[in-house]
Amino acid sequence: MRRGIAATALVAALALAATACGGDDKGDGGTDAGGELSGTVTWWDTANDAEKASFQKIAEGFTAKHPKVTVKYVNVPYGDAQNKVKNAFSSGSDAPDVIRADVGWVADFASLGYLDEVPADMAKKVDSEFLPQAAASGKYEGKTYAVPQVIDTLGLFYNKKMLADAGVQPPKTLAELKTAAEAIKGKTGKAALYLRGDDSYWFLPLIYGEGGDLVDAKNKTVTVDNEAGVKAFKTARDLVASGAAVTNATDGYANMQTAFKTGEAAMMINGPWAVADTYAGDQFKDKANLGIAAVPAGSAKAGAPQGGHDLGVYAGSKNRAAAHAFVEYMTSQEVQVQSAKELSLLPTRTAAYEQPDVKSSEMVQFFKPAVDKAVERAWIPENGSLFEPLKVEYTKAITGASSPEDAAKAAGIEFRKILKGWK
């Protein structure tokens, strides 16, 4: 809170804020006993093509504060990152000092002993100054291993003009979506919704919508194959089979973006990370044409997963003091405000939402309440492991290669192999 007030007082003047942050760094000078930080900090970033230039610039800005530290920015495509990080960490050679980890990976990396604990004073700040649901993602067995950088959730992106042409409102439920789809198809001949079929993350809104979840961590129970789970698989198949949605089992993300950006599809489900790229599309030269709504509800409710990215320091890093300082810098308020302004990414610091630049971002203003309502996943080490087997079954179900019942059952079997001893 105290910091929040101070930051508000400094308004948006980045230079001023920067000096304030420099002061902060000196505050935890215990880590760099020799006085100044030096050496190289290698950061593996997983930002997408539209975001990476901005992040690289911000990251290299660290040198302005610590002239003796060189930041080496490496962009590792998100899709390969979990594996590459594991390879690098387990071999130790050329391993990065800092990684940007999907919130679902933190517990996994931490349980393998790869992450260095966040220094106590920073951990305290994480608890007091960050959104609680974001802070939770960086913890494993009660200790803080990563600092939240951005938070996100899925929303329904829609092309305002196409929906207006078809005379429909953004659908609030999947039932509405199906009726809207007919109007859109009738009026424009285009597909209503592009639903990714090659990534099981896109399955989560569907299963949450039916009131289900992948697992119930409290009771150590696999729930993907219960009634709600089966229903979710059915819904996925039904959306595609009924023609309300188109899907794709390979290159799904790129095809989805292309279809939405060129007006081949009127809607898609995506997260804030896609906003910058979407604005680059022909249909959104006028940025006002992009509308975002909550993901359509299933038969039970509307629900989208809470996602985001945390920054963690490699336990084997030779330059941990500088690495932790870098993480603190990258998650500082002014950096978050800058990312919100430039890339429409959501800050993880509570106070950042008070900043004018954040307040004026339409995307952030939409996504913030959505994030607050987002379904928090179980932060178990196996979290990231569930998606690969789920993807196989989700793709099978959505393309009609196996029945929803079989897909749910097979996913349950695979989950129980990973979560040994769970019901």
Interface with another protein by CB under 8 A: which residues? 44, 48-49, 74-80, 82-94, 96, 108, 111-114, 197-199, 247-255, 258-259, 264, 314-318, 382, 384-385, 388-389, 392-393, 395-396, 399, 401-402, 418
Task: Give the torsion through C-alpha atoms of 417, 404, 252, 50, to 10 deg.
Answer: -70
- Number of C-beta neighbours around residue 37 at 10 A: 23
Phi, psi of 173, deg, nearest 5: -130, 165
> To which residue do tokens 């649901």 refer?
133
**Cα 239 from Cα 313, distance rounded (Å):** 42
Tell how strand 98-102 and strand 39-45 pair up: parallel
Q: Which amino acid is at 8?
A: T
**Cα 350 from Cα 270, distance rounded (Å):** 23
Task: Give the torsion through C-alpha atoms of 130, 132, 138, 140, to 10 deg.
Answer: 140
Cβ(140)–Cβ(315) below 8 Å: no
- Minimum distance from residue 199 beta carbon to another protein (Å): 7
Closest CB to another protein among residues 117, 362: 117
Q: Is 63 helix (H, G, I), strand (E, B) or coil?
A: helix
Which tokens is 354 given? 């008070």
- Minimum distance from residue 278 beta carbon to another protein (Å): 14
- Minimum distance from residue 250 beta carbon to another protein (Å): 4
Closest CB to another protein among residues 211, 316: 316
Q: What percent of the residues of the chain are helix, what percent strand, and what percent coil, each to the nearest 5?
A: 55, 15, 30
- Minimum distance from residue 166 beta carbon to another protein (Å): 21
Closest CB to another protein among residues 18, 265: 265
- Minimum distance from residue 384 beta carbon to another protein (Å): 6
- Minimum distance from residue 87 beta carbon to another protein (Å): 5
Closest CB to another protein among residues 158, 201: 201
Closest CB to another protein among residues 170, 384: 384
Which tokens is 329 given? 């810098």
**Closest residue by Cα to residue 204 from 386, 359, 29, 329:** 386
- Minimum distance from residue 74 beta carbon to another protein (Å): 5
Which tokens is 115 given? 């992450």
- Minimum distance from residue 407 beta carbon to another protein (Å): 9
Q: Which residues contact 139 (CB under 8 A, 6 or more apart)?
A: 106, 107, 145, 379
Closest CB to another protein among residues 297, 386: 386
Phi, psi of 36, deg, nearest 5: -90, 145
Closest CB to another protein among residues 273, 326: 273
Closest CB to another protein among residues 235, 317: 317
- Minimum distance from residue 421 beta carbon to another protein (Å): 15
Category of 421 on φ-ψ map: left (φ > 0), alpha (ψ -120 to 50) or beta: left
**Closest residue by Cα to residue 247 from 409, 401, 80, 363:** 401
Element (H, E) at 184: helix 174-188
Closest CB to another protein among residues 79, 167: 79
DSSP secondary structure string for all residues of 29-86: GGGGTTSS--EEEEEEE---HHHHHHHHHHHHTHHHHSTTEEEEEEE--HHHHHHHHH
Q: Which residues contact 52 (CB under 8 A, 6 or more apart)?
A: 45, 75
Closest CB to another protein among residues 198, 328: 198
- Minimum distance from residue 108 beta carbon to another protein (Å): 7
- Minimum distance from residue 95 beta carbon to another protein (Å): 8
Cβ(203)–Cβ(411) below 8 Å: no
**Cα 238 from Cα 235, distance rounded (Å):** 5
Closest CB to another protein among residues 180, 191: 191
